[in-house]
Amino acid sequence: MTDKPRPNPLPFIALALVALIAGVVVSKLQSVPAPAPAISATVLPKPRPLPNITLIDNKGRPLTPTSLKGKWTLVFFGYTNCPDVCPAALTVLQQAAQLMEKSPAVAGKVRVLFVSVDPERDTPKVLDQYVRYFHKSFVGATGTHEALTKLTRTIGVVYVIGKKNAQGRYSVDHSAQILLLDPQARLYAVYTGPHSATRIAADMRKLVMAKQ
């Protein structure tokens, strides 16, 4: 009686190796995040974390980087007595907010924050009246000059308090860009002028939908 020939195990081993390699490749492809959508702002090569500071919002509540997590945040630095630049920028953001409201899923993931660099005059009550004039959802905040300086230096914003005149009035020179923070409260991108509500709203839609 002759022995039956044993099956060659090499084809089975080869198939197993191919399946293993294919599984590893698929797993790696699935773990690679999709590229971020192109937007009209200048995107930083690497998001920049905010410093550990505390501001006070327009309702008198503490506002920290942790408070800003969970949503995309459009930030503008200025002051309520600003005669032109601040109202113009906030009007653009108002128009962008109105455009985003056509897509509630997008509007719910974006906030607008106005940071006053004039804490002497811009109390929470003053800020509340100011930001709500532009949109009921806008948030205002300010803080000590120590906190404001630490924040602005970290994210590349400049402001200079002018000298008081005989009537005690003064102006404040400040940067005019709109900053974009990601949902981890990191500086993600910068909008330089001239600002466009249409482009900003379109960008926010791209970013929010890409994360869903």
Looking at 18-27, 38-47, 113-122, 143-152, which range is the least confident one? 18-27
| 72-82 CB burial, b ≥16 within 10 A, e <16 | bbbbbbbbbbb
Tokens of 90: 């906030």
CATH T-level topology, domain 49-211: Glutaredoxin (3.40.30)
* pLDDT score for 24: 45
**Predicted confidence (pLDDT) per residue in 83-131, tens digit:** 999 999 999 999 999 999 999 999 999 999 999 999 999 999 999 999 9
Non-local CB neighbours of 26 within 8 Å, separated by 6+ positions: none
Mean pLDDT over the full length of the chain: 89
The residue ranges of every structural domain in the chain are: 49-211
Distance CA 4, CA 71 (A): 69
Residue 180 has pLDDT above 60, yes or no: yes
Four-CA torsion 134, 138, 144, 147, nearest 10 degrees: -130
Asked whether the beta carbons of 187 and 75 are under 8 A apart, the reply is no
Region of 60 please: left (phi>0), alpha (psi -120 to 50) or beta: left
Non-local CB neighbours of 133 within 8 Å, separated by 6+ positions: none
pLDDT confidence tier of residue 26, bands split at 50, 70 and 90: very low
Tokens of 205: 């839609």
Distance CA 131, CA 138 (A): 6
Distance CA 174, CA 181 (A): 19
* CA 43 vs CA 21, 75, 79, 181: distances in Å: 36, 15, 26, 11
What is the mean predicted confidence (pLDDT) over 147-166?
95
Distance CA 71, CA 184 (A): 8
Tokens of 114: 């106005």
Amino acid letter, 107: A
Distance CA 116, CA 100 (A): 24
